[in-house]
Structure 1
Amino acid sequence: MRLLVALFPLLALAGCSSWQAAPQDIKPVPEERLRGYQSPVANGGEIVVTRDFGIRGGGCYVAVMVDRMLAARIHVGEQVRLYVPAGMRIVSIESDPEDDTLCGKGRLLREKAAQVERGETLHFRISADNRIGFDIQQVGAE
């Protein structure tokens, strides 16, 4: 019984962390939540952002930004493809500026610098964790 009492809080906290979606479970962000970077750019590259599954923030959209401009509103288990000019880009996530509920009132801001080369595809992953909240990490390039 003591073991159960000791393990329950740990299990409850672990339940708030996110997990990476299997490729067959990922859905594209619907068109009505796309805000920019949808047309291929001559001599540009591509940024692909995928959001993990998880309970933490699961009822809220997260704003995906490129160079501090809203590109998409992404939900759990979704992916967005963004076409950007080659060069140094700032890829970030923020609280959704179009949401006037509690979801949009948070203070989320995580930014990553990304060097996009001509014809290159960079992949980013949005995850959630109990210690730091939401984060965005580059996970590879093609």
Structure 2
Amino acid sequence: MRLLVALIPLIALAGCSSWQADPEDITPVPEERLRGYQTPVANGGELVVTRDFGIRGGGCYVAVMVDRRLAARIHVGEQVRLQVPAGMRIVSIESDPEDDTLCGKGDLLRERAARVEPGEKLQFRISSDNRIGFDIQQVDIQ
């Protein structure tokens, strides 16, 4: 019985962590939630950002930012492709500035520096867990 009492909170906490979407389950961010970086840039590169599935924040959009400018509002299981100039870029996630509900009132801010070479594609993953909340990490292309 003690083991069961100890395991239930751990199972509940693990349920709030996100999990990586299978490629066939990922959908593109709808056009009405794209805010920029959709036009190819001469000698530029591409940023591909995918948001995990998960319960934590599952009812809220997350703002995907490039160089601190809103690029897209992304939901769970979605992916956005962004066309950016080559060079150093700041790729970040924030609370959705266009949301006037509780979802947009948070203080989410996670930033990553990324060097984009001409013709290069960089991939990022938005995940969440109970210890650090939301995060964005660059992932290796497979």
Same fold (TM over 0.5): yes
Q: State the partner residue of 2:67.
A: 67
Matched AA of 2:23: P
Q: CA deviation at 1:141?
A: 4.5
Q: CA deviation at 1:33?
A: 0.2
Gaps of 5+ in 1: none
Is 1:120–1:141's contact at 8 Å kept on the other side of the alignment? no
The superposition leaves residues 2-48 of structure 1 with CA deviations (integer Å, 9 ceiling, x where unpaired) of 21111000000000000000000000000000000001000000000
Aligned residues: 142
Aligned-pair RMSD on alpha carbons? 0.8
The superposition leaves residues 32-67 of structure 1 with CA deviations (integer Å, 9 ceiling, x where unpaired) of 000000010000000000000000000000000000
Q: State the partner residue of 2:119.
A: 119
Q: State the partner residue of 1:41.
A: 41
Distance in 1 between residues matched to 2:141 and 2:67, nearest whole Å: 19
The superposition leaves residues 49-99 of structure 1 with CA deviations (integer Å, 9 ceiling, x where unpaired) of 000000000000000000000000000000000000000000000000000
Q: State the partner residue of 1:10.
A: 10
Q: State the partner residue of 2:31.
A: 31
Distance in 1 between residues matched to 2:98 and 2:4, nearest whole Å: 43
Q: State the partner residue of 1:87.
A: 87
Which runs of at least 4 in structure 1 moved beyond 4 Å after TM superposition?
none
